[in-house]
Amino acid sequence: MLYYLGKFLISILFYPLFRVKVTGRQHIPKKGPVIICSNHTSNLDPPVVGMTASRTIHFMAKEELFSGKILGGILKRVHAFPVNRGLADRNALRGGLKILEEGGTLGLFPEGTRSKDGKPGNALPGVGFFALRSQRKSFPVSL
């Protein structure tokens, strides 16, 4: 419920203020497991990607974000799940695979962090792991 309310409220603000333009949405299947991978330049990227998608996206987010009661509670209610970026976090990997096995949409930021200068950085192996292990396609998003 909070996910859809947030998506609605954010879209009211973002579309007119930032002139968000979406192209290529028709290439993303309406049903079945999907991996969405996006560049990451701002803390606003997850809500922007989420509001433009026609599906609920389960974003993997650094576990430090879940330590606060308010932000952690919000993140859980909008279907995000934590990852320990310093390890090969088996729980996060299993969680991502489970989302895909259940036909959901997994949202990843392949570089594992925000770009400070807006330029693409090196991708970590997460997207490849999920694509190979689940045998599902990944769809790139550029912000």
pLDDT digit string (tens) for 5-56? 777 777 777 777 777 777 788 888 889 999 999 988 888 888 888 888 888 9
Domain count, the chain: 1
Q: Where are the alpha helices (DSSP H) in the chain?
A: 2-18, 45-52, 69-77, 90-101, 126-134
Is residue 79 within 8 Å of residue 50, measured between CB atoms? no
Position 95 scores a pLDDT of 97
Distances (CA, A) of 1 to 47, 66, 74, 77, 82: 15, 19, 11, 8, 20
Q: Which of 72, 74, 138 is nearest to 108 (CA)?
A: 138
Whether pLDDT at 132 is above 70: yes
Residue with tokens 């769809």: 139
CATH number at residue 132: 3.40.1010
What is the sign, positive or negative, of the torsion defined by CA atoms of 120, 96, 102, 68? negative
Position 101 scores a pLDDT of 97
Whether pLDDT at 79 is above 90: yes
Q: pTM of the entire structure?
A: 0.86
Position 1 scores a pLDDT of 66
> Burial, 8: exposed, middle or buried (Cβ in 10 Å; 0-12, 13-18, 19+)?
exposed
Domain hosting residue 129, numbered range: 2-141
Residues 6+ apart with CB under 8 A from 95: 60, 81
User: What mean pLDDT, rounded, does the chain reach?
Assistant: 87
Position 57 scores a pLDDT of 95
Is residue 106 within 8 Å of residue 58, measured between CB atoms? yes
